[in-house]
Structure 1
Amino acid sequence: MNLPVSDDVIAAVLLGIVQGLTEFLPVSSTAHLILVTDVLHLDPKRYGLSFDVALHLGTALAVFIYFFTTWLGLLADLVRGRWRLISLIVIGTLPAALAGVLFESWIERELRRPIVIVLGLVIGSVIFIVAERMAHQRRWIGELGLRDALFMGIAQAIALVPGISRSGITISAGLTRDLHRFEATRFSFLLATPVIVGAGVKTLVDSRTAAELLTVPQLAVIGFATSFVCGWIAIAFMMSFLRGHPLTVFVFYRLALAALVVMLVLAKVL
């Protein structure tokens, strides 16, 4: 539906909040964005893939700024010829990048469905529980090897399925490799940066998408700013919260959301 201008602004802010918070909380940003846009029947010309670009770039900037000193340290390491952590991030990024290039169209066409979201939320919850039970939390990022990075990278690729949660499954993967929960969270967010930026840039490169983005620039700016602020808050929360709390805390919300989706489908809202 075509919303009045004031409602358009409210919708842009709402989507920015949803993207910013759920990109880093282990609850699946893709699932939330699909549900919000479908329930509100938002105009895809205003809030389609082009608007997603602005939202993703906002969260990318949030994670970049939050870990700014870490990125500076990595840059300094490159100058000194120390490639270890950078190489681990690259290896951890490749599976998701490859999967995105090969299966993006199929995922958009076949997997953005309520049943997939429900299954993703439930399966992701089971993964959280299993990972926490397996976690020994005795290793640090400095002890990560190539196999560890690749394993977390494959997990990140699986998160392309709506409902799984990129942050949740990569943190879980880190826990099963005996990383401290805080360190698994930190490495998960470092892996997120190139993936989020790459997804946004890939969509923006499409000339049709770029043209659409310019048709409602104020909404893109609002979405970008809101997702940036909320993304930074979510990162700060996760880095603090997971020092002393398990991922399983989020299972209750995920299962409740899955039940809500089922009810919305039965009520023919979705």
Structure 2
Amino acid sequence: MGYIEAIILGLVQGLAEFLPISSSGHLALLQDLFHVDAEKVLLFAVLLHLGTLVSVFIVYWKDIWELLVELVITIKDLCTGKGLRLEERPIRKLGIMIIVATIPTAVIGLLLNDFFEGLYTSMIAVGVGFLITGVIMFLAEKMSSANKGIEKMNFRNAIFIGLLQGVAIYPGISRSGSTLVGGLTTGLKREFAVKFAFLISIPSILGSVILELPDAIKAGTDPTLMGPIAAGVVVAAVSGLFAIKTMIKIVSNKKLSYFSYYVWILGACTIAYGVFWA
């Protein structure tokens, strides 16, 4: 893997992680096209995830800082017998909802991770995932969000969104698209739905890194690849930052159907590639 391949993969990871077009599906397709041995670049894949995580921290650093401060206050309140008081403290409720949404995602990931990983080498399976993502985004475009913010959000809403995020482990299904549709389906207003989708990506990405890091370290990497890897990670972080800000605008302007047409075409081409050439 040279610099060009690493930069392309980093660009795709950053854009597709947050735009509703599935980073997992794009990376699986590109690795197959470039004949990249996934085992040899496992560390690169893990670091790309960390690069995109940096993007989320940059955009939502104020929210993340408030959540961390609130965590300390929550522990203090629990120790002094004041309880959670979720209705009185919206930022605390947001933190709890993120945790609740993460639980079903983690359960699905732990139980089905090996099964879904086995699909990454099947271009037909990846193509089907793209087609599903297209349907998801088409539905999101048609949904009229309510005015529900964190104050009116409940545990059922968080669990449902977390379940959809877990299903998005399937290669080709967009995580951001799935969680966004989950938020809109439960009546969240568009601005909050996209914000919640990106915030719950933090524990999801971290969990993925924790699961994959031991194997990545064990597999090792060629020292000559450190330059391309660094370049790819930087590109992933920068493109991820662009993708998040773009996604926020797109959701507000209700332009999600454009992504449907893109992934439908890509899905059909990927299936054809899997049938005739892969």
Query: Would the aligned equivalents of 2:119 and 2:126 in 1 still touch at CA under 8 Å?
Result: no
**How far 1:184 sits from its partner (Å)?**
0.8
**How far 1:93 sits from its partner (Å)?**
1.1
Letter in 1 for 2:19: L
Q: 2:16 aligns with which of 12, 22, 30?
A: 22
TM-score by length of 2: 0.87
Query: Would the aligned equivalents of 1:132 and 1:172 in 2 still touch at CA under 8 Å?
Result: no
2:32 alignment counterpart: 38
2:81 alignment counterpart: none
How far apart, in 2, do the equivalents of 1:214 and 1:192 lie?
A: 30
1:51 alignment counterpart: 44
**How far 1:46 sits from its partner (Å)?**
4.0
How far apart, in 1, do the equivalents of 2:216 and 2:268 lie?
A: 39
Alignment of 1:142-157 (within 5 A): 142-157=151-166
| Count of aligned positions | 262
My pick for the range that moved more, 205-214 or 250-259, is 205-214
How far apart, in 2, do the equivalents of 1:39 and 1:247 lie?
A: 28
1:196 alignment counterpart: 205
Letter in 2 for 1:186: K
Alignment of 1:5-154 (within 5 A): 8-47=2-41, 49-81=42-74, 82=89, 83-110=92-119, 112-154=121-163
What does the per-residue CA deviation read over 1:184-222, in whole Å, with 9 as the maximum and x for residues that have no partner? 111000010111122113211336446337673223212
Letter in 1 for 2:44: F
TM-score by length of 1: 0.89
Query: Would the aligned equivalents of 2:119 and 2:171 in 1 still touch at CA under 8 Å?
Result: no
Letter in 2 for 1:24: F
How far apart, in 1, do the equivalents of 2:6 and 2:163 lie?
A: 32
1:206 alignment counterpart: 215
Query: Would the aligned equivalents of 1:132 and 1:246 in 2 still touch at CA under 8 Å?
Result: yes
Q: 1:244 aligns with which of 242, 253, 257?
A: 253
User: What SS class does the counterpart of residue 221 from structure 2 fall into?
Assistant: helix
**How far 1:266 sits from its partner (Å)?**
4.3
2:196 alignment counterpart: 187
What does the per-residue CA deviation read over 1:156-193, in whole Å, with 9 as the maximum and x for residues that have no partner? 00101111100001100111111122211110000101
2:229 alignment counterpart: 220
C-alpha root-mean-square deviation of aligned residues, in Å? 2.0
Q: 1:56 to 1:258 in 2, by over 3 A?
A: same
User: What SS class does the counterpart of residue 138 from structure 1 fall into?
Assistant: coil
Percent identity of equivalent pairs: 36
How far apart, in 2, do the equivalents of 1:111 and 1:46 lie?
A: 15
What does the per-residue CA deviation read over 1:81-117, in whole Å, with 9 as the maximum and x for residues that have no partner? 2531111101111222222222222211245412212
**How far 1:130 sits from its partner (Å)?**
3.0
How far apart, in 1, do the equivalents of 2:51 and 2:234 lie?
A: 6
User: What SS class does the counterpart of residue 57 from structure 2 fall into?
Assistant: helix
**How far 1:45 sits from its partner (Å)?**
4.8
1:259 alignment counterpart: 268
